[in-house]
Amino acid sequence: MKHNNHITQEAKTYLHEHHRRDMELHEKHSKEENTHTHHKHSHEEHHKMMMEDFKKRLIVSAILTVPILLLSPLIQRLFNFTFAFRGDKYLLFALSASVYFYGGWPFLNGLVKEFKRKNPGMMTLIALAITTAFFYSTAVTFGLTGKTFYWELATLIDIMLLGHYIEMRSLLGASRALEELIKLMPTEAHLITPEGIKDIPVSELKKGDIVLVKPGEKMPSDGTIIEGETSINEAMLTGESKPIYKKPGDKVIGGSINLEGAIKVRIEKTGKETYLMQVIELVKQAQETKSKTQNLANRAAFWLTLIAIGVGALTLGTWLSFGKTFVFALERMVTVMVITCPHALGLAVPLVVAVSTAISAKKGILIRNREAFEKAKDLQVIVFDKTGTLTEGKFEVSDIIPLADLSEKEILKYAASLESKSTHPIAQGIVEKAKERGIELLEIGESKILPGKGIQGALEGKEILLVSPVFLKENDINLENERVDKVLQEGKTAVFLVIDKKPIGMIALVDRIRSESKEAIKKLQDMGIKTYMLTGDNARVAKWVADELKLDGFFAEVLPHEKAEKIQQLQKEGFTVAMVGDGINDAPALIQADVGIAIGAGTDVAIESADIVLVKNDPRDVIMAIDLAKATYKKMVQNLAWATGYNAFAIPLAAGTFYSYGILLSPAIGAILMSLSTVIVAINAKLLKA
């Protein structure tokens, strides 16, 4: 919850300005490589400095509060001890003045800013309470008849500083998604020049430059392959789960990973024109336009401020009109102001936040955005990314179809033996299946990668191939088989075992569905929440997963900017929407959603873009997060109801409404009631369970 709105907005303004400068830096040429790092540090330092300021003021004020409590007459009477010496009241004044001006400065400054914006709230109420208590107590110290409120003043400031320190710690963890995205780009490129290959910073690349990209390296920028062929992993950018075969003339995306062969790429886009930087811009826009609901505490503080000012002034005027002395009338007004002090209101939300954060952390749920977390209680639609979220992002053998005399076991043995030394995801899935079945692998002679098409090897003088359907088509190897056709129609990834140019068998693989996904989907649907899936994969693969999980719907072949648009489309239909994802391609959608939820083992970008992070990689934790959000919100409402509601009977008593019946609430009793309200709020927060 963001109580200190002027600080939060100031930090966000700085954050967006910082992101804008970061993108400009990546467009300029001849910049030192550590420029981004320097600005990232300055961004983090800005937030840390704000948090440290509250911490420092809290520590100093808390230390000064100890002697203030010891010197306060009411505290001495309550605990039956005496601590007095000549000039003690002036020392009490000096200590309290230090706490008021030093510890109370953020609130006094906040009052000025809120009045400039014509939107009095929590800061105004706190400032009025501490100012009334301080100046009235000062007047009493220097001759006015009455009682001092120094200890109430000091403890109020301590509690308010504590609440805002807790808030700033949360703010320090604000989204760094753009910085994480920018880090995906490699820092160097192998530029091909007439003199040979020259390593240069990526920021110096120009359109038309030719670069060499070796196996295992990232594409330095968007471009077109002009020489060589390979498979490229674009999963983190586009959501496509399987590596994509690329040949001369095909486009490549900056930040994607070259898996197999060395290729030459002509650079066609740099700076803001690149795919990745466009995703960054989408994230930036989503951050800036994401709606922010004014929290309950601020709304309550606004009305409590108006009530405190109005009733305080009315009390003073009324008693003076009744012929009472100014000191009596002023004491009534001060009692009203003190009893309206938002000790309980200030802690109502931060305490629940602290407790719910601790509970959620133990359960493996990290809350990064409090406002979004609260919205989780109202979710109507949850949209899941497929790869790495509902599925494991790993290939699993689903079908083995013999096409000749070999058995399923023999087909798997040949295929796994051929792929045993490969790190390709499909190869790993086949080898894992062979291990599961306890198959002993064969020694294959020298093997050769066929980029984007498969692998070739030799066994007992025979040529053995494990290839894609594309290879069969290119080599005019015709195949008619109903089971094969059915598997291909389902969108599964298929490879064919070919021995001496004859198809012997087919192995189909699918992205393995998480065992927890079915349970999570069913429970969410039982709660009345619709479940959808977004994926960059083709429609046939998406339909197979959707049917397996009995989803309410799915969107396939969706690019990152389209993912955000799909979320927006659901929101325009009036739904409160959550997005659950783990990849870079999910970042815009995670931020566009009312609640963005990242699977913990996902990318830093997804985590930084999300409002909630599930540490355990378990979709069922989405349900736990929703339940915790409901319980947390219920406690917040209870605390706020009490923190403001007790004023309904306390303020009239403080104002002297029942004076004619002999009932008059003294400032001391008012202070005790105020403290009792705080204790009740604290105990209620501690009772939070989920």
Distance of CA 211 to the CA centre of its chain: 36
User: Contact 336/149 with Cβ under 8 angstroms?
Assistant: no
C-alpha–C-alpha distance, residues 384 and 332, integer Å: 59
Closest CA to 332 of 646, 663, 677, 676: 663
Q: Quote the tokens at residue 475.
A: 């080599």
Tell me the C-alpha to C-alpha distance, in Å, between residue 583 and each of 119, 307, 568: 40, 49, 19
Strands (DSSP E) contained in 251-327 are 251-252, 257-258, 263-269
Strands (DSSP E) contained in 128-229 are 188-193, 196-201, 210-213, 222-227
Q: Is 385 a catalytic residue?
A: yes
Tell me the C-alpha to C-alpha distance, in Å, between residue 125 and each of 400, 417, 565, 676: 72, 74, 42, 19
User: Contact 487/380 with Cβ under 8 angstroms?
Assistant: no
**Residues 6 or more apart from 296 whose CB is under 8 A from it?**
349, 636, 637, 640
C-alpha–C-alpha distance, residues 156 and 44, integer Å: 30
C-alpha–C-alpha distance, residues 60 and 554, integer Å: 56
Tell me the C-alpha to C-alpha distance, in Å, between residue 548 and each of 31, 491, 512: 51, 14, 11
**Residues 6 or more apart from 335 whose CB is under 8 A from it?**
654, 655, 665, 666, 667, 670
Q: Which of 385, 511, 582, 611 is catalytic?
A: 385
**Residues 6 or more apart from 414 whose CB is under 8 A from it?**
406, 442, 459, 464, 466, 497, 499, 504
The residues assigned a catalytic role are: 385
